[in-house]
Structure 1
Amino acid sequence: MRSAPTPDELLKLDNQLCFAVYSASLAMTRLYKPLLEKLSLTYPQYLVMLALWETDGPTVSELGERLSLDSGTLTPLLKRLEANGLVARLRDVADERRVHITLTSAGRKLKARAVDVPACLLAASQCSLDELAGLTRQLQALRDRVRAA
């Protein structure tokens, strides 16, 4: 049985889960950057497109909730994607305050070109699909518990 960690051990950078998650996120973003440049997307734009390929036509607020982004961050992303011809912003006819985000034909076609991106992560991680799926579930559960705290 391990003894309780000392205060110095508790405060070591390499013992911090937050740093492991943060540095893994940075490494992931660096891995994705050249892959996404071929698609003319930034990483946040890629996340928006993933959400839209999953469910086309959400409102801006629904999309923001799905991606954990506020409207101040999401709106400029959507404007750039719209300027690039990948999405359209459409006012709800029943409530003009609500704006729906829909994929254009070009946005739908981009999905076929993005298929290789997850395979590159799989190769770079040197993990099996089952390992990555398990890790993803663990991180999602951790995220949900931290949000609820």
Structure 2
Amino acid sequence: MPSKRPSAQSFDAPAADPLALDEQLCFTLYSTMLSLNKVYRGLLRDLDLTYLQYLVMLVLWEQDGVNVSEICTRLALETTTLTPLLKRLEARGLIQRVRSASDERQVIVSLTAEGRALRSRAKALPSCVAQAMELPPKEIAKLRSQLLTLRANLDKNA
């Protein structure tokens, strides 16, 4: 059996309990996301959007006229979660949903003029969130890259 080189931590402190809540990466990510959502909630209040509605708007601001299944894929959401959300955005006059002329099973989601105009009001959000993180831009980019790698590895091994 190959011997593992002990980590520096094993010399300085007793081994942590692997089942301690504070040792769980999953809890650290979960509680961090709760904190991040609190920041977004405050910022999105002025736009009268929920966080998930904001994510849908981000997808549409990137590419207008997207079918529902593409939005579901981009946001890792089920249609049953997305449909009521789209209905609320449509009721607010930010989007419109139209059945595809070539395939009636597909619903195409497009921005209205009001939905496009909302983009300019949302432009400051990323910098406000970055400011709340109190991290330099390079650290934020590095963290994002690490999380993307982690997500890809988890998806591959799920």
Same fold (TM over 0.5): yes
Give the Å deviation of 1:51: 1.0
Identity value in percent: 49
Aligned positions of 1:35-114 closer than 5 A: 35-114=43-122
Larger radius of gyration: 2
Give the Å deviation of 1:136: 0.9
Partner Cα distance (1:65, 1:95) in 2: 19
Partner of 2:156: 148
From 133, 136, 142, the counterpart of 1:128 = 136
Runs (5+) with no aligned partner, structure 2: 1-5
Partner Cα distance (1:55, 1:135) in 2: 26
Runs (5+) with no aligned partner, structure 1: none
Secondary structure, in 3 states, of the residue corresponding to 1:29?
Answer: helix
Please give the root-mean-square deviation of Cα atoms over the aligned residues, in Å. Answer: 1.5
Partner Cα distance (1:141, 1:84) in 2: 36
Secondary structure, in 3 states, of the residue corresponding to 1:95?
Answer: coil
Secondary structure, in 3 states, of the residue corresponding to 1:9?
Answer: coil
Q: Does 1:27 find its partner at 2:1?
A: no
